Amino acid sequence: MSTSTMPENSRLWRWTKTVLDLAFVVLVVLAAKAAIAEPFYVPSGSMEPTLLIGDELLATKYPYGYSTASLPSFIVLPNTKRYFGALPKYGDIVVFRWPGDRSQVWVKRVIGLPGDRIAMRGGHVVVNGEVARWKSDGLGQMENETGSHTPTQQLIETLPGGRTHAIYKMVAREPLDTMPEVTVPPGHLFVMGDNRDNSADSRVPVDAGGVGMLPIDDLVGRVDAVVGSWDLGLKNDPVWTWLSGLRLSRFFSAVN
């Protein structure tokens, strides 16, 4: 072998090793996002006041098992059966593939499990004949996608089983406040947004832009924490003001 080919072979090996190392890192990251947790960004106010526009969520994937929905969000494959599956609990906040377009990832709160009877009466959720209780919690400030805010009534809702969380109720009587009793089919969930007058959820069928009854196999994971947050209302302001939009109090905060 000539001495001139040895440096070339050495360079080729170093280049190949670098590519393989990068590929390994990418595979590890993808595997972690598929099996452990994945960050998601909140673009709308349907889960206010619990989740704000501009929040960065961390959804853990192992609590409910795995299906093709568990793959990193940019990978869209036909639905499959869920393995190592477990049902969510009442009040869990879940990330899921929207049944109308599985490339879209949405977030809502679990209100009903398979076999539950769900109705809406005067804005109150009724689960198996039990009305979810409300307690006034003063006024909140509902943030709009434009960055503006609207004063709204904040309530503490208690679901059957005792789990509590805050909700917004802006309009006393709204079309989605009344819904005849429906039974959640096997393998499905009934989900709602905490911003009750601004959420297309299981009260709205998929063909009307809502969620309808959510197939459990579309679950991505459970929201356990907000890892970061930035006020999108500043996006049209000068760049040097953007740092003031960081909501530091929400960084690495638990989600109820």
Q: Which residues have a Cβ under 8 Å from the Cβ of 108 and sit 6 or more positions away?
A: 46, 47, 93, 94, 96, 191, 192, 193, 199, 201, 202, 211, 214
Contact by Cβ (8 Å): 112, 125: no
* Cis peptide bond N-terminal to 215, omega within 30: no
Quick check: is 17 catalytic? no
**Catalytic residue (one of 46, 67, 202, 229):** 46
Give the integer Cα–Cα distance in Å for 76 and 68: 8
Active site residue 46: yes
| Distance between CA atoms of residues 16 and 177, nearest Å | 61
What would the DSSP string read from start to end of 68-83?
A: GGGS-TT--------B
DSSP 198: S
Q: Name the phi and psi angles at 9, rounded to 5.
A: -65, -40
Q: Which of 33, 61, 73, 108 is catalytic?
A: 108
230 φ/ψ angles, rounded to the nearest 5 degrees: -140, 135
Q: Quote the radius of gyration of the chain (alpha carbons, Å).
A: 22
Q: Which residues are catalytic?
A: 46, 108
